[in-house]
Structure 1
Amino acid sequence: MKLIYNILFLLLLSCCLPAVSEATSPLQSKIDEAPNGATIKVEEGEYEETVIISKPVTLEGTGKVLLRSCENEPVVTILNKGVTLKNIMVEHCGNEKEDAAIYVTGSYHILEKLNIKTKHLGIRLDNANDVTIQDSEIMGINRGNGIDLWKSNRNRFENLTITNVSDGIYLEQSDENILHRNNIQKSRYGMHLMFSNDNILDGNVSKFNTTGTELMESKRTVVRHNQFTSNNNSVNAQGLLLYLASDTEVTGNEFISNRVGIFIEKAENNRLKANKIMDNFTGIQFLKSNGNKAMKNTFVGNVNDAQAIESSNNQLDGNYWDAASKVDLDGNGKSDIVYTADPYFLTLTADVPEYQLFFQAPGIIMLQNMLKSPFEQLLIDSAPLMDMTMEVKKEQSSSFSLWCMSAVMIVASCSLFIVGRKKR
């Protein structure tokens, strides 16, 4: 009797096996079986697996599709040519330092409408060319880069939101890439280019990072119409850092409320034109840099407009300085009074930070006129503009806020002093 029960159980199990196998068929099988050019629709749900796509197919989620893996390999690997990945959430929870949620090599791939969460790298491009990544979000925990390029050229990154990563978009030995209308926040570097040439950074927002963007040993970069705002959470923070960079075009950008708006170090032959440099602690700073040009920029509300250390032959002609004395006798739109940017106040506050409370106080201005900085630290604009080159909103700038803060602190100090004397 027991033998009969065992036989019946085995027959029942054999009948059920095909259905179970079909129900648990991995997504990888569908990819492998699809012909070139096919669109593979992924039904709504969570998929705990990794996939490799090595032929020109489209993998598209319908509804909320989550691919998730904690393995020491990418959740999605894209190879060869012509792969499209669309409308999918990807979560990588692996703990290896070099883990990436998505690994891409090859060319002419399209990644769009993705939502990526990762403990380390978001998307890694390794020898990947002519790839488009757009309309997507990447969120990390400050351990790896959002998008990481290695020897990858002519790629386009557009309309991406990247937060809480190490570097938002990192390029190394990668040329002719376009970074357009991306929003990068709460990271170490917003955009970070190393040994990469002929790239375009256009219309991006880099905010609340340690450094908005760094260009290191990179040539012929175009930086235009970007917003570098509130990159001031560190003593080494700046909106844009040009380090050993050359032939850079920085045009039509906004540098607002950074510790240093533009920091140029050991860099030559860069051109800054028609930028708004507003409400920074230091507007522009040169360190061991020569032969750079700044023209038609608007400097408003900066604690210290400009500083140069061990730098020479930097041309600052035809900029608007709100702190400049302006007299235009011949009506050519340029002041007849030369503007000299003296970093005396910056030098003073470096030794005694509390002196920042006396920003633009009459006594400090008098001391600055009496005790000028060394000539080599002065930056001179021989033809400062009478009018701004860029529109500045009619809102209270940080200089007004600093005035208010100074007044409050002085009143509080006087009150404490008076109360202390009365107690005696």
Structure 2
Amino acid sequence: MYKFKQNLFGGETIKKIMLIIALICFLGTSIAHAEVVNLNNNKTFTSIQSAIDDYDTKDGHIIFVKPGEYCENIVINKSITLEGDGKAKIIAKDPSIPTIYINTDNITIEGFIINTNGIYAIMALNASNCVIRNNIIYTSAEEPGSGICINGTTRDWKIENNTIIGGIFTYGFSKNYKIIGNNIMKCKYAGIHLGTLGGSTDSCEISENIIRSCKCGIALDCANNCIIQKNVVLLCSFNGIYLGATGGARNCTISDNYIAGCNKGISLKTGCTNNIICLNTITNCEYGLSIQGIKNYVYKNYFLNNSIAVDGELLNNYWNTTNEGNYWLDYFGNDSDGDGIGDIPYTYNKVNLDYKPLIVDLTIEDIEICDGKIKAMVKNNGKADMKKIDPNAKVLIKITHNNETYVGEIGPLSPSEVQSIIWQRDVNPGSEIVVEIPTQNQYLIGTSIKDANINNNIVRKIVGLEFKLSNLTVTPEHGTVPLTIFVNAAVNNPSNVDSNYTAILYINKQAVANKIVFVPAHTTININFTYTLTQPGTYNVTIGNLTPVTVTVSQASIQNKTFTITLTNLGKSTITIKYYISIYTNPVNGTKVSYRELTITLKPNETKTIELGKYPFKYAVSGTMIVKNPSRYRIPLNLRIKYEIEGLNPQMREISKYIAPRGEFRYIARYTGNEYGFIDIW
């Protein structure tokens, strides 16, 4: 089913790991006296457990384990560092219990080979602020998290730079975990799974791990404010990254991951909302992204060679920002206006999904002739990064001069990147040089990458001819979006040779269009371009090297939008809120145009929406919310506030705190809209 092939933690690598383990076993058995040293008091021991249990071993001590094989089950009940040099091997004496069991805080384990045929290599219970780093952990058990299993309410763990066969699991409530730089493979269940069995995951970071050949790569349950970034997840039979199997997920970021050969690349279940999915490459999966949650943000991702690109709640999520969407390998639109974005939306199942699809647009930036060399410079005007689409792509560039042709190659280009090829070639004045980026049906030769604008793929230049440009005009110089401008200039050929001239239109120093015009000898002709500016801003517009003309584009007349605030009581008790709301003409020094005082009572799980009225989207709302506790006991407040302006992406805040007896909680927030389609809140 999958096309993905890569020898990353494949059979040979695993054999090497096992060979290392076997070699260390041999070395260990050849050492006559394995030795354990307490570096703080220099006492020596023949077993790790005896060193821990010793009366003189105190919290904060470092136990150094010299090379050798230690057949024992270890219980760590002191806040110590257990340190090996990479050659100390720990094997469970009793495989029915964990090889290492942790039941206190502030433990560090690093530099070991931990091998068990039993249930767990490392298990912890209600332990926090622990570090597991630079170990090789191997287990043949099929229990979830048989590599590292952490139970209970825990926080502030660091699991770094380990090689693990068996996975990492937490059961219960996990907070402030950092799981970074591990190699994890061949797990029957998930490579990393946090918050299982009704627990939760809060403010955790999972980054730069390589996970291969597991049922699921990374899974978080009931997750909030977590970051999953820069991981490589390969050949997982279920999901590459899985959020919210139980309890949903909120305010998490999944970014810059590479996911290949999985059933579902990224999967978000019901209850997942306000998450960001960006900059990921998802390739050769059955489903690229399966999304059941709503109001998540999906942009700047690369969907490549997936049987089904996206599935689920398509219309209830955001598939682009105001500037950029995603790259879709099966997008067939063009980029005629040179803005780096496809002209038409990406459509999936007859639904307009992504209104700002990323594209590749290669253009001939310039041709230089100097010291017997022809140098052709090529630029990616598109907003798609070719290195994410195909990092091994070779782009052919063809240079023709005096009926002879040279073909060179450049690599893939990131947005706005320029690469060059050079032809060692003597040229004679008056001769013509033609540089071309060859395509076939708009696809770059030898690649699966479409060039969305092939009108700028050929440039001609006459050697030794100095064309003269003059009389640049741009009209209009002011207007509202979308503004179509007309750009004109005169080009003069002062030579005795009829020639073609390549005119290039630049906007803010970026070549956005070109055209080839024939200019007879000793003749001046006019050249013109028509271009549409679709975003407000200031633009410097020119042809060739002429002094640019500044064009100012403003937002079109502002229509009034509906402002609302929605409150949801997430707690188990009824609450009463006093809300004071003012509306101003702008957020800095605006005039107050409205004021309201509201009393709102919310039962558990009840939602109420406050309609504030219709105003220009740049008006500002200032709200002061007061919740009082008249009782003699502290009370919990769990409240979700959603700020909305019609047509703009909403913002949400969640409040979770206790209000002191006979105290009050006061919350002040202001919000307004911006021209980029988002709400600013402070």
Q: How high is the TM-score relative to the length of structure 2? A: 0.43
CA contact (8 A) 1:55 1:83 kept: no
Give the Cα–Cα distance (whole angstroms) in 1 for the partners of residues 142 and 393 of structure 2.
38
Give the Cα–Cα distance (whole angstroms) in 1 for the partners of residues 234 and 393 of structure 2.
16
Asked if 1:331 is matched to 2:338, the reply is: yes
Q: CA deviation at 1:142?
A: 3.1
Partner SS state of residue 265, structure 2 = strand
Which residue identity does 1:332 align to in structure 2?
D
- C-alpha distance 382-168 of structure 1, shift in aligned 2 (>3 A): same
Q: Where do 1:102-251 residues align within 5 Å?
A: 102-118=100-116, 119-144=118-143, 145=145, 146-150=147-151, 151-163=153-165, 165=166, 167-170=167-170, 172-187=172-187, 188-194=189-195, 195-232=200-237, 237-243=238-244, 244-251=248-255
Which residue identity does 2:120 align to in structure 1?
L
CA contact (8 A) 1:246 1:269 kept: yes
Residue of structure 2 in register with 1:91 after alignment: 91
Give the Cα–Cα distance (whole angstroms) in 1 for the partners of residues 49 and 58 of structure 2.
19
Give the Cα–Cα distance (whole angstroms) in 2 for the partners of residues 214 and 39 of structure 1.
44
Q: Where do 1:14-413 residues align within 5 Å?
A: 37-39=40-42, 52-53=52-53, 55-56=58-59, 57-63=61-67, 65-69=68-72, 75-87=73-85, 88-92=88-92, 94-96=94-96, 99-118=97-116, 119-144=118-143, 145=145, 146-150=147-151, 151-163=153-165, 165=166, 167-170=167-170, 172-187=172-187, 188-194=189-195, 195-232=200-237, 237-243=238-244, 244-266=248-270, 267-287=272-292, 289-309=293-313, 312-317=315-320, 318-342=325-349, 378=351, 380-387=353-360, 388-389=384-385, 391=388, 392-394=390-392
Q: CA deviation at 1:84?
A: 2.7
Greater Rg by CA: 2
Deviations 1:182-214 (A, max 9, x none): 011000101001112100001001110000011
Q: CA deviation at 1:109?
A: 2.2
- C-alpha distance 157-193 of structure 1, shift in aligned 2 (>3 A): same
Give the Cα–Cα distance (whole angstroms) in 2 for the partners of residues 48 and 124 of structure 1.
17
- C-alpha distance 220-105 of structure 1, shift in aligned 2 (>3 A): same
More contact order relative to length (CA 8 Å, sep ≥ 6): 1
Deviations 1:151-207 (A, max 9, x none): 2211111111111x2x43435312101001001100010100111210000100111
CA contact (8 A) 1:197 1:220 kept: yes
Partner SS state of residue 142, structure 2 = coil
Q: Note the residue ranges of structure 1 that are not aligned, 5 or more in a row.
A: 1-24, 70-74, 343-371, 373-377, 397-424
Give the Cα–Cα distance (whole angstroms) in 2 for the partners of residues 314 and 252 of structure 1.
20
105-114 vs 265-274, greater mean Cα deviation = 105-114
CA contact (8 A) 1:55 1:82 kept: yes
Give the Cα–Cα distance (whole angstroms) in 1 for the partners of residues 307 and 337 of structure 2.
31
Flag the structure with higher helix content. 1
Deviations 1:115-164 (A, max 9, x none): 1112111111222222211110111113332111222211111111111x
Deviations 1:243-289 (A, max 9, x none): 211111011110111111001111111111111111111110112x1
Deviations 1:318-339 (A, max 9, x none): 1000100131122111101111
Q: CA deviation at 1:40?
A: 5.0
Residue of structure 2 in register with 1:358 after alignment: none
Give the Cα–Cα distance (whole angstroms) in 1 for the partners of residues 162 and 279 of structure 2.
26
Partner SS state of residue 142, structure 1 = coil
CA contact (8 A) 1:316 1:379 kept: no
CA contact (8 A) 1:178 1:199 kept: yes
- C-alpha distance 40-76 of structure 1, shift in aligned 2 (>3 A): farther
Give the Cα–Cα distance (whole angstroms) in 2 for the partners of residues 379 and 338 of structure 1.
6
Number of residues of Structure 1 aligned to a counterpart in Structure 2: 315
Partner SS state of residue 327, structure 1 = coil
- C-alpha distance 210-50 of structure 1, shift in aligned 2 (>3 A): farther
CA contact (8 A) 1:42 1:61 kept: no
CA contact (8 A) 1:48 1:68 kept: no
Residue of structure 1 in register with 2:598 after alignment: none
CA contact (8 A) 1:40 1:60 kept: no
Give the Cα–Cα distance (whole angstroms) in 2 for the partners of residues 328 and 240 of structure 1.
33
CA contact (8 A) 1:58 1:85 kept: yes
